[in-house]
Amino acid sequence: MRAVITGTSDGIGRSCAERFLLEGIEVFGFDIQESSIRHPLYHHCVFDISSKEPVSVDDCEILINSAGTLTEEKAIETNLMGTIRFTERFRNAPSLKSILFIASASARNGSEFPLYVASKAGIVGYMKNLALNLGGRKITVNSISPGGVITSSNANIIEDPVLYAAVKAETLLGKWAEPEEVAELAYYLTVLNRSVTGEDILMDNGEMLRSNFIEAAGQETPASTQ
């Protein structure tokens, strides 16, 4: 089995690559940085997904789009248009069985900078369109929308004890996810799953459900602040 994964030099993309390699799956990784993985089944290509240069991998069965940027002015071109262009290179591969996108919880609640939010919401919409068009070929297409994840890109939050405590307190489980947790779900959705398609799966430790209720004096039913 062969998997193509973007963003494999760090964070969720790297964890996905390592999870697949653990199962003996050959991985072709694409990232703007040099490889941080050394494994006989791993092949690395230094590549910017926003590039229009041609890319091909023979017999690709799984495609995971994890590469992206937090830089606001580059969000649409990289996160959305780059991801679409990269995916379009593989969508007609006869061997393709599954496509997965790493989106963001902010695609649902809008709680980030506007262009970043728009880029991730666009990915979810594109995912659903692909699921509609590729279902006839029995190809599953889904996305994962993580909330806070413990990666180097979030170091400015994680390394600030006060700020990190505040953001964890906004979740029901009082924590952020490890990238390995996202990779485990990615493995299920692309390798084991046969019936889930067109779904955006939220993985935010219950942050979206957080509600603070304020009860006014003499009021029988608490008023929600959400």
pLDDT higher than 50, residue 154 = yes
* pLDDT top residue among 32 and 224: 32
Q: How many CB atoms lie within 10 A of CB 35?
A: 17
The model's pLDDT over 169-191, given as tens digits with 9 standing for 90+, comes to 999 999 999 999 999 999 999 99
pLDDT higher than 60, residue 218 = no
Predicted pLDDT at 226: 39
The model's pLDDT over 20-55, given as tens digits with 9 standing for 90+, comes to 999 999 999 999 999 999 999 999 999 999 999 999
Question: What confidence category does residue 4 fall into, taking pLDDT thresholds of 50, 70 and 90?
Answer: very high
Question: What confidence category does residue 225 fall into, taking pLDDT thresholds of 50, 70 and 90?
Answer: very low
pTM: 0.91
Predicted pLDDT at 214: 56
Q: Which two tokens stand for residue 3?
A: 């998997």
Question: What confidence category does residue 210 fall into, taking pLDDT thresholds of 50, 70 and 90?
Answer: confident
Q: How far is 188 from 203, CA to CA, in rounded Å?
A: 14
Question: In 3D, which of 10, 26, 36 has the Cα closest to residue 62?
Answer: 26
Q: Residues 97, 108, 115, 102: is their CA dihedral positive or negative? A: negative
Domains parsed from the chain with CATH numbers: 2-150+178-205 (3.40.50.720)
The model's pLDDT over 56-90, given as tens digits with 9 standing for 90+, comes to 999 999 999 999 999 999 999 999 999 999 999 99
Mean pLDDT of 211-218: 58
Mean pLDDT of 91-104: 97
Predicted pLDDT at 112: 83
3-state SS, one letter per residue, for the chain: CEEEEECCCCHHHHHHHHHHHHCCCEEEEEECCCCCCCCCCEEEEECCCCCCCCCCCCCCCEEEECCCCCCHHHHHHHHHHHHHHHHHCCCCCCCCCEEEEECCCHHHHCCCCHHHHHHHHHHHHHHHHHHHHHHHHCCEEEEEEECCECCHHHHHHHCCHHHHHHHHCCCCCCCCECHHHHHHHHHHHHHHCCCCCCCEEEECCCHHHCCCEECCCCCCCCEECC
Predicted pLDDT at 222: 42
Q: How many CB atoms lie within 10 A of CB 111?
A: 14
Q: How far is 172 from 105, CA to CA, in rounded Å?
A: 15
Question: In 3D, which of 108, 91, 107 has the Cα closest to residue 99?
Answer: 91
Predicted pLDDT at 111: 85
Q: How far is 136 from 61, CA to CA, in rounded Å?
A: 16
Mean pLDDT of 119-133: 98
* pLDDT top residue among 212 and 199: 199
Contact 104, 112 (CB under 8 A): yes
Q: How far is 81 from 193, CA to CA, in rounded Å?
A: 27
